[in-house]
Amino acid sequence: MYNDNPTLEGITKHVDETKQGEVFFTEGKKGDKHFYIESYGCQMNFSDSEIVASILGEAGYQPTRNMEIADLILINTCSIREKAEDTVRKRLRIFDKVKRQRPGTMVGVLGCMAERLKSKFLEEEQLVDLVVGPDAYRDLPNLVAGAEEGDKGVNVFLSREETYADISPLRLNSNGITAFISIMRGCDNMCSFCVVPFTRGRERSRSAFSVIAEATDLFERGFREVTLLGQNVDSYKWENPETNTTVNFADLLKMVAHVHPDLRIRFSTSHPKDITDDVLHTMAKYENICKYIHLPVQSGSSRVLELMNRTYTREWYMDKVRRIYEIMPDCAISSDVIAGFCTETEEEHQETLSVMEFANYSMSYMFFYSERPGTVAARKYEDDIPLEVKKRRLQEIIDLQTPMSYRHNQKDIGKTFKVLIEGESKRSDADWKGRNSQNKMVVFAKQGVHSAGDYVYVKINEATSATLIGEMVAGPGA
Ligand code: SAH
Ligand code: SF4
Ligand code: F3S
C-alpha cells in the first residue's frame, strides 16, 4: 500500500528500498570534482547524506545528479531487511559499469551495510574503493584522498559521542519547505529482530542548542516544517552544561515549538515504552507540534513482543493508544508491523490484526520478518515460519490496513484543515499539495496568490485511502 501513496514521501524511505533511491543535485562549476550520492533506508540515512554532502562540499566536491560525470559515486545503504541489501548490490553492479567506462572513478559504500559488512565489502565487491560507517563521515575527505592514490579505505569506527552537531547539512534535494533534523544517533534498545544497534552503535543525543540553532536557521531560510529524527526520540536526553540540567524530549519539543509559531514540528520514531504523558501534553499544548505519532507496534501478541524484546505488552500498548486519543482526540497514529516473527502462531497473528483495529491507524508500514545476521533473534530463535505463511499473514495485515486508511480518510470529509503548501501536485500544476497536522496529503485547486510555504485552510470533499481532496476556504470555521 505504501508505494502508491504520495503522502508518505519522505517518511517511507525504509519501506520499499527498491523504489526509494534518491539523488542529490546541484549545478557544479566546470573543473570541479563531482560526487554523486544515492540514499536508501530510513530518514536518518537521508539526513546523513546531507551531512556527507556538506563534508564533501568543504573538501571541494560538488554534487551532481549525473553519475557518468562523477569522480566519486557514493551509495548510503540500509541493512534492515535482506531485500534492502539486495537492492544495494544491484546498484553496485550498475556503478561497476560506469567505473569500467571511466577508470579513476571511485565508488564508496556508506551507512548501515558498510558498518555491517566492514572490510568484507572490499573482498566481495572488488570495485568498491571506500567503506565508511555512519559515525566516520568526517574522515571521508582523507579516505577519498587516499583512494585517489589507489589506497582502498575502510573506516567503520562507531563512536559514543559523534552527533555531527556542528555540521550544517547541505539540503540539496529539498523542496525548501520541509527538512529533517537529526536529534540523536544510534539505538540502545536491542529489539531482537533489529540490526540497527549493530550498524548505528550506542544511543547519544545531540546538543539541544545546536538543534534549536538549526531549526532557527531553517525557518529564516523559508523552511516551515522540521522533522526531529532519532530511532527512539522519546529517550532523547541531553545534559545542559551551563545549567547542569537535563533536557528531555518534551523539553526539546517545547524549545523547538518556540522557534516560531509558523514552524511546524514533527518527529519520528516514538517507542511505546518511552513516550510520556509529558510529551503528549506538550503536543496538545502547542498548535505547531503536529498531531501525528508514529508508534510502531510490531506485534499484537504479548508473547511475541517479549521474544522481540520490545519491553511492553499488548495491554501496555493499548493503554498508550487510549491515552493519546484521550489527550489529543484529533491525533493520527501510524505503525510498523512485522508478520511471521519466529514461532508466531495463527492466534498471535490474529492478535496483531485486532490491535491494529483497536488503534485505528491512519496508515502502517508492513513487513514480513527477515532474519538479520548477528541479531539476538538470529542467534536464539529459529526462523520457522515458512515464507508463504509470512507472505499470507502480511497480505492479511495489508488487507486490514488499506480499508482502515480509507475509512480514516473518509471521516475527514466535510472537515476543514490547516494545510502547509509543499508544492504543486504531481498530477496537475493547477493543484497544490500539502499536508495537514495529521500528516495526511491534501490536494486542492490553486486559488488566489499563494506559494509553497504558505498555510491555507482546505475543506475536504473527497478522500481515497492515500489522499484527501478538497478546496480552499477562508478560515477554520468556513
Ligand atoms: N527505530 C524504529 C524503527 C527502525 S526500523 C522503531 O523502533 O520503531 C523500521 C522498521 O523496520 C521497524 O519498526 C520494524 O517494523 C522493521 N524491521 C526492523 N527489523 C526488521 C526485520 N529483521 N524484519 C522485518 N522488519 C524489520
Ligand atoms: Fe531497532 Fe528496536 Fe532500536 Fe527501533 S528501537 S532501531 S526496532 S532496536
Ligand atoms: Fe536501514 Fe540503517 Fe536506517 S539499517 S532503516 S538505514 S538505521
For ligand 1, say whether the CB of 148 is within 6 Å of any of its atoms.
no
- pLDDT score, position 475: 83
**pLDDT confidence of residue 1:** 24
| CA dist., res. 478 & res. 473, Å (int) | 6
Atom in ligand 2 nearest the alpha carbon of residue 271:
5
Is residue 14 pLDDT above 70, yes or no? no
Pocket around ligand 3 at a 6 A CB cut-off: 14, 41-42, 44-45, 78-80, 111-112, 195-196, 199-200
Q: Does domain 315-410 have CATH number 3.30.750.200?
A: yes
Asked if the domains at 315-410 and 416-473 fall in one CATH topology, the answer is no
SS (H, E, C) 103-146: CCCEEEEEEHHHHHHCCHHHHHCCCCCEEECCCCHHHHHHHHHH
Residue 173 pLDDT level (bands cut at 50, 70, 90): confident
Atom number, ligand 2, closest to the C-alpha of residue 197: 8
Q: Which atom of ligand 3 is nearest to the CA of 45?
A: 6
Q: Is the CB of 91 under 6 A from ligand 1?
A: no
**If you measure from the C-alpha of residue 400 to the centroid of ligand 2, how many angstroms do you get, rounded to a whole number?**
25
* pLDDT one-digit tens code per residue, 334-365: 999 999 999 999 999 999 999 999 999 999 99
What is residue 339's three-state secondary structure? strand
What pLDDT does 25 receive? 58
Checking if the pLDDT of 378 tops 60, the result is yes
5 Cβ neighbours under 8 A, 6+ residues apart:
12, 363, 441, 465, 466, 467
Rounded distance, CA 334 to CA 342, Å? Answer: 24
Mean pLDDT of 146-162: 92
Q: Which CATH superfamily is domain 416-473 in?
A: Nucleic acid-binding proteins (2.40.50.140)
Tell whether the model's pLDDT for residue 10 goes beyond 70: no
Higher pLDDT, 49 or 19: 49
Fold of 176-290: Transcription Regulator spoIIAA (3.30.750)
Q: What are 210-235's pLDDT values in tens digits? A: 999 999 999 999 999 999 999 999 99
pLDDT higher than threshold 70 for residue 390 = yes
Residue 126: band (very low, low, confident or very high) from pLDDT cuts 50, 70, 90: confident
Select the CATH number that applies to the domain covering 6-155 from these four: 3.40.50.720, 3.40.50.2300, 3.40.50.12160, 3.40.50.1460: 3.40.50.12160
Confidence of residue 478 (pLDDT cuts 50, 70, 90): low
- Ligand nearest, relative to CA of residue 338: 1
Distance CA 387, CA 459 (A): 44
| Distance between Cα 284 and ligand 1 center (Å) | 28
Pocket test for ligand 3, best of 13, 14, 110, 184 (most atoms within 8 A of CB): 14
Query: Could you tell me the CA-to-CA distances from 68 to 65, 101, 150, 418 in Å, in that order?
Result: 9, 9, 20, 43
pTM of the model: 0.93
- pLDDT value, residue 22: 55
Average pLDDT, rounded, for the chain: 92
pLDDT, one tens digit per residue, over 283-314 is 999 999 999 999 999 999 999 999 999 999 99
Domain ranges in the chain are: 6-155, 176-290, 315-410, 416-473
Percent of the chain's residues with pLDDT above 90: 87
Is residue 294 lining ligand 1, measured as CB closer than 6 Å? no
Q: What angle do CA 378, 47, 160 make, to 5 degrees?
A: 60
* Share of residues in the chain with pLDDT > 70 (%): 93
Look at residue 17 and tell me whether its pLDDT is greater than 50: no
